[in-house]
């Protein structure tokens, strides 16, 4: 790489542009120089002013390009087909109440238990691909095998994406700019098509359609959640999605879950809302820092779910009528 000119590097690895931009290196007009020659153009005073470290910049460019190439390789073969949790102990050192839990892509598992019971620890164990080296002593397998170390140490390949009630958009960007930025950071090739898919998906979840030029910070609660879910389903690199409650307002939750499933995600959902919890095939019961048991959703519960969904639909219809300025009747 040290012999390539900047122009050649950019042609072969277009994503390296973001390295130059983020490191504030204006390479315009220097395409025919090698990176070393380009850095040679900065004198000592400029180096001090810019707090620049030439040797490090050169080493890092190579590391950056290697990481991105690896990342592109992973994208082609997303790899994660199943997640297996092997039991450890709860806070009192008692063994957990299950033998092995394997969750496949497009499967939903719900998590129930009081606040502070150990949901965060369970999630951290998955994220860190624990190997009996965390306080619970649990082990995590990916595709039935010992997981690759990359899940622990790389910044661009995190195993778990999170969606929670408290999350907000904080960037000062429009919906369009926001999605573009995210797509670029994920090295998506067809950015426009991807954005189009996300918008369509988000609009099918939200009660109110939104415009591409709306600032993300100005979206309603339902619209924000819809956009976050659609974006996580379609653009996030993480194969596992953890949902921490989805509020029952302004969004079709059943559709939202279906969207994640259609995108081959493994879905873990912490919730005490029966309409959500019963959608899952199984639920994990957390107590005293450990998994006390795993319950399969029974036939009777599935029937209860149908009734709950009817009530839900009834309330939703009222909500829509209210929003449209109608009077409600029986």
Partner 1 sequence: MNLVIFSGPPSSGKTSIILKTIEAMRTRDLQVGVVKFDCLSTDDDILYEKAGIPVKKGLSGALCPDHYFASNIEEVVQWGRKAGLDLLITESAGLCNRCSPYIKSIMGVCVIDNLSGINTPKKIGPMLKAADIVVITKGDIVSQAEREVFASKVNSVNPKAMTMHINGLTGQGAFELSTLLYEEDQELETVTGMELRYPMPSALCSYCLGETRIGDAFQMGNVRKIELGEIDE
Count of residues near partner 1 by CB under 8 A: 52
- Give the largest Cα separation in the chain, rounded: 79
Bridge partners of 131, per DSSP, are 139
Cα 292 from Cα 99, distance rounded (Å):
11
The tokens for 118 are 């150990």
Q: Which of 34, 110, 223, 236 binds partner 1 (CB under 8 A)?
A: 236
Q: Which stretch binds partner 1 (CB under 8 A): 95-103, 127-135, 189-197, 296-304?
A: 127-135
Q: Which of 54, 91, 150, 158 binds partner 1 (CB under 8 A)?
A: 158
Q: Which of 11, 102, 143, 164 binds partner 1 (CB under 8 A)?
A: 164
Q: Which stretch binds partner 1 (CB under 8 A): 52-60, 249-257, 278-286, 300-308?
A: 52-60
The answer to whether 181 contacts partner 1 (rule: CB under 8 A) is yes
Residue 98 · residue 294 · CB < 8 Å: yes
CA angle 190, 195, 199 (to 5 degrees): 155
Cα 302 from Cα 152, distance rounded (Å):
38
Q: How far is the CB of 166 from partner 1 (least distance, A)?
A: 5
Cα 264 from Cα 285, distance rounded (Å):
24
Q: Which of 38, 110, 117, 127 binds partner 1 (CB under 8 A)?
A: 127
The answer to whether 56 contacts partner 1 (rule: CB under 8 A) is yes
Q: Which of 59, 262, 307, 326 binds partner 1 (CB under 8 A)?
A: 59
The answer to whether 24 contacts partner 1 (rule: CB under 8 A) is yes
The answer to whether 263 contacts partner 1 (rule: CB under 8 A) is no
Q: Which of 37, 94, 100, 133 binds partner 1 (CB under 8 A)?
A: 133
The answer to whether 316 contacts partner 1 (rule: CB under 8 A) is no
Q: How far is the CB of 52 from partner 1 (least distance, A)?
A: 9
Return the exposure string of 120-156: e unless at least 16 CB atoms fall within 10 Å of the residue's CB, then b: ebbbebbbbbbbeebebbbbbbbeeeebeeebeeeee
Q: How far is the CB of 74 from partner 1 (least distance, A)?
A: 14
* Strands of the 139-142 sheet, one edge to the other: 101-104, 82-86, 139-142
Q: Measure CA of the first residue to CA of the last residue in the chain; give whole Å.
A: 73
CB atoms within 10 A of CB 32: 11
Cα 110 from Cα 294, distance rounded (Å):
10
| Nearer to partner 1 among residue 102 and residue 164 (C-beta) | 164
Q: Which of 8, 64, 254, 255 binds partner 1 (CB under 8 A)?
A: 64
63: part of which helix (H) or strand (E)? helix 54-76
The answer to whether 306 contacts partner 1 (rule: CB under 8 A) is no
Cα 275 from Cα 272, distance rounded (Å):
9
Residue positions counted in the chain: 330
The answer to whether 162 contacts partner 1 (rule: CB under 8 A) is yes
292: part of which helix (H) or strand (E)? strand 290-296
Cα 79 from Cα 197, distance rounded (Å):
23
Q: How far is the CB of 110 from partner 1 (least distance, A)?
A: 19
| Nearer to partner 1 among residue 219 and residue 305 (C-beta) | 219
Residue 235 · residue 182 · CB < 8 Å: yes
Q: How far is the CB of 322 from partner 1 (least distance, A)?
A: 28
Q: How far is the CB of 26 from partner 1 (least distance, A)?
A: 13
The answer to whether 178 contacts partner 1 (rule: CB under 8 A) is yes
* Interaction site with partner 1 (CB under 8 A): 18-19, 22-24, 48, 51, 53, 56, 59-60, 63-64, 67, 120-121, 123-124, 127-128, 133-135, 152-156, 158, 161-164, 166-171, 178, 181-182, 185-186, 224, 228, 231-232, 235-238
């Amino acid at each position: 790489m040290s012999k390539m000119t900047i122009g050649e590097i950019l042609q072969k690895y277009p994503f390296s542009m973001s390295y130059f931009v983020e490191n504030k290196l204006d390479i315009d007009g220097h395409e025919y120089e090698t990176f070393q020659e380009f850095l040679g153009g900065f004198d000592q005073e400029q180096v001090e002013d810019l707090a620049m470290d030439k040797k490090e910049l050169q080493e890092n460019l190579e590391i950056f390009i290697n990481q991105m190439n690896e990342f592109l390789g992973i994208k082609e073969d997303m790899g994660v087909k199943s997640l297996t949790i092997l039991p450890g102990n709860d806070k009192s050192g008692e063994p957990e109440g299950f033998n092995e839990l394997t969750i496949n892509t497009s499967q939903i598992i719900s998590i129930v238990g009081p606040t502070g019971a150990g949901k965060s620890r369970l999630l951290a164990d998955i994220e860190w691909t624990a190997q009996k080296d965390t306080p619970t002593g649990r082990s995590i397998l990916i595709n039935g095998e010992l997981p690759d170390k990359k899940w622990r140490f790389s910044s661009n390949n995190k195993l778990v994406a999170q969606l929670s009630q408290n999350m907000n958009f904080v960037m000062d960007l429009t919906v369009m700019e926001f999605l573009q930025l995210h797509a670029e950071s994920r090295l998506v090739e067809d950015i426009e098509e991807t954005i189009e898919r996300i918008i369509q998906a988000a609009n099918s979840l939200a009660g109110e359609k939104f415009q591409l030029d709306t600032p993300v910070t100005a979206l309603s609660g339902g619209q924000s959640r819809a956009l976050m879910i659609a974006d996580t389903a379609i653009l996030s690199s993480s194969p596992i999605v953890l949902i921490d409650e989805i509020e029952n307002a302004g969004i079709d939750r059943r559709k939202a879950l279906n969207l994640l499933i259609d995108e081959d995600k493994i879905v873990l959902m912490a919730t005490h809302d029966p309409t959500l919890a019963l959608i899952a095939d199984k639920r994990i019961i957390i107590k005293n820092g450990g998994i006390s048991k795993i319950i399969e959703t029974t036939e009777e519960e599935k029937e209860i779910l149908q009734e709950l969904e009817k009530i839900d639909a009834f309330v939703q219809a009222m909500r829509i009528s209210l929003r449209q300025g109608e009077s409600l009747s029986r």
